[in-house]
Amino acid sequence: MIAPLSAGAAEIAEPADSSPEADLSGWAPVPVPPPTYTLKAKAERPQPLPAAVGEPTATPLSSFDGLVDEGELDEVLDRRHA
């Protein structure tokens, strides 16, 4: 449950120097140093080596060869169709 707002809580506080005639005589810009990452030397990146391309070899069509018995798969399919 949300508590109701009090009358004073709904008011927005105004900044102290909101008038256009604010005294800026004591303000002066200060120099800001550049970010340190801009001062560092650029890192050298090594060139990637070309990939070795070989002749394609004959691969089996299924990566499950030898892992699952074909009879087990047929039993699963038969149970799903039943």
pLDDT in tens, the chain (82 residues): 565 555 555 566 665 555 567 777 888 899 999 898 888 888 899 999 998 888 877 766 666 666 767 778 888 888 888 7
pTM, two decimals, is: 0.23
What's CA 73's distance to the chain center, in Å? Answer: 42
Q: How many other CB atoms are there within 10 angstroms of residue 36's CB atom? A: 7
**What is each CA distance from 75 to 25, 48, 61, 62, 79, in whole angstroms?**
90, 50, 22, 19, 6
